[in-house]
Structure 1
Amino acid sequence: MVSFSSYKIILSAVSLSLVSFFGSAQEVTPEQETFPQCIDRLQQRALAAGVSAATANNVLAKIELMPKLLEYDRNQPEFVQTFTGYFSKRVTNWRIDKGREKFAEHRAFLAKLTQEYGVPAHYLLAFWGLETNFGNYKGKIPTLRALTTLACDQRRSRYFSSELVQALLLLERENLQPEQMIGSWAGAMGHTQFMPTAYLKYARDGDGDGKIDLWNSEQDALASAANFLKNLGWQAGYRWGREVQLPESFDYQLAGKSHPKSLSFWNKQQVTQVSGQSLGNSDIKSALLIPAGYTGSAFLVYSNFDVILRWNNSEYYGIAVGHLADRIAGKDDLSKPLPDLPKYTILEMQAFQEKLNQLGFEVGEADGILGPATRKGVRDFQMSVGLIADGYPSKNTVEAAMNKPTTVNQVDVTS
């Protein structure tokens, strides 16, 4: 446990300045701001946004730090998460069965939401299932304490300061008590884990009782999720994507979110549905994702997949939501078993990324994350050494890169 005095040392690096509510020019350097000064800054920001003086003085001023949250925020997983590890823990038989139970329980209400917002029931249930196990675990951290602690920390102070103010406005709008507001360590709340800004803007009274309660009302949570997705751009009548089959001669350089093509194009490349049926000739745009390498499943994803990513910007999350929704709706499991993928530590992946950069295959910052830039760099490297260019860092790919000598003038294959 980090002591309060230790936390003051952490706060000494906070990159913030204090500007008074009345516009005075007094500034405090990052090295000077203490927790009381941070609270003062947050109070004045809250007052300027319309939070009452009573809430600023009787709620915000009395909030205590939760230094343990900084450990959560700084904690990095020891290993790079593989698609197999991520997917297998999220798309489970329990979630599929529970999702079908909840569909039966809320059938009429979900049909009403689909008609009003255009979002099919199985997608709403998939989000709900992934976020909180259908409400079985909504978090136990006091929201206001969590947001205040993170707002007084330098790493993402601006974002969390804004969310804290929105949380205080929400407290007043819904006539809540601070102890009622509990959720994740980062401030997400309720069945659907809305941040305060999303709660204020998109949450809806689904059960018609005159208030919005995402902690205790399943109908409020489902209606809010539907409204949120509609406002994020969900296109009614279209699916998220689908698993597809690739020909043996497939050009894996065509894969990636940055290469959307028409279904007609993919059809000409002999990409088919899992059943072997044609994709048809259409100008609908879709991108091909190969999250587990060529030995795993491939997916064509459409515009609604991008909407899912606006909820949580992770391709793994997007595929998990889409496939869980499909399974809840009664569709089949993936056609291929999840492959046994190599597990790299963060440091090993960073070293691999650094080596690719040195070899001239630009992947950006060596952060240990298998993002789009890294996958592109991996594909380019694989092409250069005659490996299947699926963009996945297989054991053979990593060994080939790490053993390749670095010369002064590498050939740039990306230009």
Structure 2
Amino acid sequence: MLSRRFLLASAGPVIAGCASSTPPARTAAPTAAPTAAPLVVVPPPVAAPAVAAAPQEAVLDAAGFDTFLDGLRADARRAGVSAPTVQRALSGIRPLARVLELDRKQPEGALSWEQYRDRIVSQTRIENGRRAYAENRAVLEAIQSRYQVSPRVVVAIWGMETNYGSNTGGFSVVEALATLAWEGRRAAFFRGELLAALRILDAGHVSPEGMRGSWAGAMGHPQFMPTSFERLAVDFDGDGRKDIWGSRADALGSIANYLARSGWQAERGWAIEARPPAGFDIERVDTDTKRSVGEWARLGWRRADGSPLPGGDTEATLAVPARSGGQVFLGLPNLRVIRRYNSPINYALAVGLLADRVA
């Protein structure tokens, strides 16, 4: 998955694995597996729109890369990857200058929560989400039946990660990961991801040419890193391959499986936009304390429109967006599940808001 968590919080399509110098968050340990569902008939796979892959300029001074590849071939063979797969996947690859440039580039400035929210949860993204939901309703309902995860949230994550599959990344995953593993700054992490990518190729889920993604190796519609793919991708359409690049059933089912294995609670919501009591200081907020929604109400908290909070013992924590101008939420347990897919609080809140509007 992304999981976690390695994302560029930009005004355009959000692609996992594209901006942070820390490992992606799609590596959270799964919880109990979801229950099986009865046999369902799903629509045939729908291929993602073709993404033209611009030629990638190789690093000119690539001393030692061939030696690196020799060691990698040996490691892959010891890991059980077949010789033909190793030969096909690693033949002719070179380190990519653009990958190193993006890895080293630091974000310039930061959007406020309100700027980020309004750009990401835009009317265009909402309308496209509603269209994507309608076009994939049958498979989304089948996915909900199996995993008990809100299809609205699945669609919202799909929209945040790859703009509903229209921007899944144009880099060769093997070449990008090899570049990062060779470069050395996070060599161990990316070498592990690269070996996982080779195992995925060896299992026949995708061809080396079809294994495309972000500059950091995040793949397909859900933008899973290879190790997350190994743990959490599913063959929802039943064709024998876990194809998160060309099969929407597999891609959306894999997102739902990720959330289910991370502890999603059906029909429990994700957050309540709230109005704090007098004296609340947003600069000194405690986001760790857990109280029931009823307890927050007794402390003077209300819904954002001034109406009373719902009663009950559902656990909630304060969820304050980064660089917020004042908007505050009471985060429910499912908000934490979304943050296991990608950890930044603004990402998780935007997913929830987009899911509500897609509905």
Q: TM-score w.r.t. structure 1 length?
A: 0.69
Residue 141, structure 1, aligned to residue 171, structure 2: yes
Q: CA deviation at 1:254?
A: 7.1
Aligned-residue offset at 1:296: 2.7
Q: Tell me if structure 1 keeps the 8 A contact 2:113–2:323.
A: no
- Counting aligned pairs with the same residue, the percent is 40
Q: Structure 1 residue 214 and structure 2 residue 270: aligned?
A: no
- Greater mean alpha carbon deviation, residues 164-173 or residues 280-289: 280-289
> Secondary structure, in 3 states, of the residue corresponding to 2:209?
helix
2:92 maps to which of 62, 68, 86: 62
Q: For residue 257 of structure 1, what is the amino acid of its counterpart?
A: T
CA positional deviation for 1:292: 5.8
SS of residue paired to 1:178: coil
The aligned residue for residue 4 of structure 1 is 60
1:318 is the counterpart of 2:348: yes
Alignment deviations for residues 171-215 of structure 1 (CA, whole Å, 9 cap, x no partner): 121253211111110111111111111222221222333322211
The runs of 4+ residues in structure 1 deviating greater than 6 Å are: none
Match of 1:376 in 2: none
- Extract unaligned runs of 5+ from structure 1: 9-33, 330-415
| 1:261 maps onto 2:291 in alignment | yes
| Larger relative contact order, structure 1 or 2 (CA cutoff 8 Å, min sep 6) | 2
Deviation, 1:295, is: 4.1
Report the equivalent of 1:40: 70
Alignment match, 1:167: 197
Taking the TM superposition and a 5 Å limit, the aligned residue runs for 1:221-370 are 221-250=251-280, 252=282, 255-291=285-321, 295-329=325-359
How many residue pairs align between the two structures?
303
TM-score (norm 2): 0.79
Q: Write the distance in 2 (CA, Å) between the matches of 1:128 and 1:294.
A: 25
For the 8 Å contact 2:114–2:325, the answer to whether it is kept is no
Q: Does 1:127 align with 2:157?
A: yes
Note if 1:185 corresponds to 2:215. Answer: yes
Deviation of the 1:122 alpha carbon? 0.4
Q: Structure 1 residues 103, 191: CA separation in 2 closer, same or farther (over 3 Å shift)?
A: same
Q: What is the deviation of 1:58?
A: 3.9
2 CA distance for matches of 1:175 and 1:264? 48
2-side partners of 1:254 and 1:116: how far apart? 42
Looking at structure 2, the residues matched to 59 and 222 of structure 1 have their Cα atoms a distance apart, in angstroms, of 27
Deviations 1:293-350 (A, max 9, x none): 6743111112211111111111110111111111111xxxxxxxxxxxxxxxxxxxxx
The alpha-carbon distance between structure 1 residues 325 and 175, as it changes in their structure 2 partners (threshold 3 A), is closer
Residues 231-253 of structure 1, C-alpha deviation per residue, up to 9 Å, x if partnerless?
12212221111211123333547
- Kindly provide the CA deviation profile for residues 273-310 of structure 1, in whole angstroms up to 9, marking residues without a partner as x: 23333224433221112326674311111221111111
Q: Which runs of 5+ in 2 are unaligned?
A: 1-56
Q: Could you say what secondary structure the match of 1:4 adopts?
A: coil
Partner Cα separation in structure 1 for residue 162 and residue 88 of structure 2: 31
In 2, distance between residues paired with 1:256 and 1:149? 41
| Conserved 8 A contact 1:192-1:214 | yes
**1:212–1:3 distance in 2 versus 1, CA, 3 Å:** closer
Whether contact under 8 Å (1:254, 1:288) holds in the other structure is no
CA spacing shift, 1:294–1:50, aligned 2, 3 Å: closer
Decide whether aligned partners of structure 1 residues 294 and 162 sit closer, same or farther in structure 2, where only a CA change above 3 A counts: closer
Q: In the superposition, relative to structure 1, how do residues 164 and 292 fare at CA in structure 2: closer, same or farther (>3 Å)? A: closer
Residue 139 of structure 2 corresponds to residue 83 of structure 1: no
> Larger helix proportion, structure 1 or 2?
1
What is the letter of the counterpart of residue 290 of structure 2?
A: P
Compare CA radii of gyration and give the structure with the larger one.
1
The structure 2 residue matched to 1:157, chosen from 163, 187, 190, is: 187
User: 3-state SS of the aligned residue for 1:224?
Assistant: helix
* 2-structure distance, mates of 1:155, 1:262: 44
